[in-house]
Amino acid sequence: MKSTLANLKIIIIAFTLFSQLITINSNAQTTRVLFIGNSLTGVNNLPNQFRQLALSAGKQVFVEDATAGGATLQNHLNNTNTISKIQQGNWDYVVLQEQSQLPSWVNDRSTMFYPYAKSLDSLFKLYNPCGETVFFLTYAHRNGDLGILQNGGTDSYWAMQQRIRDGYMEIADSLNAVVCPVGWAFRECRIQYPTIELYQPDFNHPTDTGTYLAACAFYSTIFQDSAIGQPYIGSMPLAKAAILQNIATHIVMDSLVLWNIGQNTNNTPISYFNYFDTLLTVHFVDSSTNALSYLWDFGDGDTSSQTNPIHTYSTPGNYTVRLIIQSSCSSDTFLANISVYANNSPPNCDFSYTINNLSASYIDSSQNANTYFWDFGDGDTSNLINPIHNYLTSGIYLVKHRVNNNFGSDSIIKQISIYVQMPIANFNYSFSASSTTVFFNDSSQYTTSHFWDFDDGDTSTQANPSHIFPHDGTFDVKLVASNNWGTDTIVKQVDIQFSSIEKNNKQSLITIYPNPLHNIVNIATNFNKYRFELRTIDNKILIETNESKNTIIDISGYPKGMYIIVIETEDEVLIKKIMKY
């Protein structure tokens, strides 16, 4: 009953966590973005261009905006429409765009920009605890701050753009918020392609080209993905769209850390734990951050949902412990391999091994060990439990094995002999009962290849060849057996006495001519019935027919070379080599 309840508890905990993850993942399928700003966002409908670009890339996205001409973040903080949209909740991102000049006013942004940015960020996090704030790093006026220039002052685009960047980066870094570097993409475009017009005649608002460049920058920022090659190009010619996609992608993706992209850890859970043991009983101490719930898997089938559980193992051994934590937004898992002991004894070291040529397989048989060290005696080492080591040469090696645990260490040295199995050549042979064929049977050991020399000019690389010798006599047949480590040779004398079959008064009644020949074999005989064979020099049958008396055999279909003719009557076998030219 106790086991059943424990298993039910595991199932309930796992199902709860799984259900939470499904909810989070289903919400994350559609990326929801709220744009808050003024006409720099609203002109040419930047939110919709971003949406169209994302949809063309296969993303699911929903956008909404709260924009008003000339509006500051202070205005939005007091705007019920803006506040209502924030309070809708379920936003993944809010984009905050300040009035075009305020971020560049070094002496005023700490009072006119930062406080309202912080308030909107806090309000957004209150209703969207899993959402992220993205600051829209805007572009400078075309020739510098229009207010300064119209009042007779001196400014430049480059100086204003740097001040805007400094202002947005300072507030974003203080809030651990993301920056979308649209202004820096404008700057790069002006450097590389000065003829591309990004500004309307008022030198403040963007052309459709400028808005498309901003949309590409937001796509790469929100999705951490390249805008290059995405199908949506708005009203841009393809060549110009490709330039803008490339600029935005590299400005964002080459400096993700600089723009705080992917660095938001406000609500990100990070799982970690420490532990200490009293032999079989282990105390686990949670060191995670942003955790709301816990699921421990102790690696032996038991689990716990406590923050700092104490677990008793039934047997010593090595276990993989898993801690899964859940925050309001996501989950994280940490794994640790732990060694559990039944006593506080130091280890006892021992090992065995098997040898296969130059390869040695080592098997640890130590007791109470949790770390391992091997010195193979040839300069190489290993920390594996059961390593396999390949030596370069034969020899005698002193192998040292050392093991450790929390209570001490132990080591042992063994002398091992490494050698290779050289081939051992051997063979036997037998004669055919009804023909002149000799069958050779390889009986070599540790052999991977063969070479036969039959002492009559013929050879073979088969393991068990058959051979027809051209005449009687004693032949020194040689077998060379080989493997990766070397060769071995054996020679045996084979005594051929087939002429007793042929030497009778009927042999003179069989004549084969001409020899050498071109295409035709002539056979002259009075035998009414005989068997004719044409064989290759390595005993492969090419023609096999039953003939009677004088006959002509056409061998024009075979290449030039040496062949064997076998004629077999009821009581006679004639073997003859012929040359075809």
CATH number at residue 539: 2.60.40.3080
Phi-psi region of 532 (alpha: psi -120 to 50; beta: other; left: phi over 0): beta
pLDDT of residue 29: 81
Nearest to 251 by CA among 217, 207, 223: 217
pLDDT of residue 104: 96
The domain total for the chain is 5
> How does pLDDT run across 486-506, given as a tens digit for each residue?
999 999 999 886 544 444 444
Q: Exposure of 191 by Cβ count < 10 A (0-12 exposed, 13-18 middle, 19+ buried)?
A: exposed
**Alpha-carbon gap, residue 164 to 174, rounded angstroms:** 16
Nearest to 278 by CA among 305, 322, 255, 312: 312
Please report whether residue 11 resides in a domain: no
pLDDT of residue 427: 95
- Give the amino acid at 409: S
Tokens of 219: 């796509």
pLDDT of residue 24: 39
- For residues 386 and 529, membership in a common domain is answered with no
Please report whether residue 22 resides in a domain: no
- For residues 201 and 124, membership in a common domain is answered with yes
Please report whether residue 59 resides in a domain: yes
**Alpha-carbon gap, residue 128 to 32, rounded angstroms:** 11
Q: What is the domain range of residue 551?
A: 499-580
Cis, peptide link before residue 514, omega less than 30° from 0: yes
Please report whether residue 23 resides in a domain: no
- pLDDT < 70 positions in the chain: 1-28, 263-267, 278, 433-436, 497-508
H/E stretch holding 206: none
Long-range contacts of 45-51 (CB under 8 A, 24+ apart): 45/211, 46/211, 46/214, 46/215, 46/218, 49/211, 49/212, 49/214, 49/215, 49/232, 49/234, 50/215, 50/218, 50/219, 50/222
- For residues 272 and 247, membership in a common domain is answered with no
- For residues 249 and 109, membership in a common domain is answered with yes
Tokens of 314: 């039934």
**Alpha-carbon gap, residue 414 to 400, rounded angstroms:** 7
Please report whether residue 21 resides in a domain: no
**Of the residues 253, 281, 301, which one is the last residue of a structural domain?**
253
> How does pLDDT run across 127-162, given as a tens digit for each residue?
998 899 999 999 999 999 999 999 999 999 999 999
User: Could you tell me the end-to-end alpha-carbon distance of the chain, in angstroms, rounded to an integer?
Assistant: 94
Residue with tokens 């090992």: 351
**Alpha-carbon gap, residue 80 to 41, rounded angstroms:** 19
pLDDT of residue 264: 59
pLDDT of residue 445: 93
**Of the residues 377, 395, 418, which one is the last residue of a structural domain?**
418
CATH number at residue 275: 2.60.40.10
CATH number at residue 213: 3.40.50.1110
Nearest to 158 by CA among 146, 143, 180: 143
Please report whether residue 93 resides in a domain: yes
- For residues 35 and 110, membership in a common domain is answered with yes
**Alpha-carbon gap, residue 111 to 123, rounded angstroms:** 19
Q: What are the beta bridge partners of residue 567? A: 532, 574
Please report whether residue 10 resides in a domain: no
Cis, peptide link before residue 516, omega less than 30° from 0: yes
pLDDT of residue 110: 94
- Give the amino acid at 201: P
- For residues 218 and 359, membership in a common domain is answered with no
Please report whether residue 148 resides in a domain: yes
- Give the amino acid at 136: F
- For residues 82 and 218, membership in a common domain is answered with yes
- For residues 402 and 431, membership in a common domain is answered with no
- For residues 246 and 148, membership in a common domain is answered with yes
Strand 317-326 relative to strand 293-297, pairing: antiparallel
Residue with tokens 């004719």: 532
- For residues 456 and 562, membership in a common domain is answered with no
pLDDT of residue 263: 63
pLDDT of residue 83: 97
- For residues 219 and 102, membership in a common domain is answered with yes
**Of the residues 318, 340, 362, which one is the last residue of a structural domain?**
340
- For residues 35 and 82, membership in a common domain is answered with yes
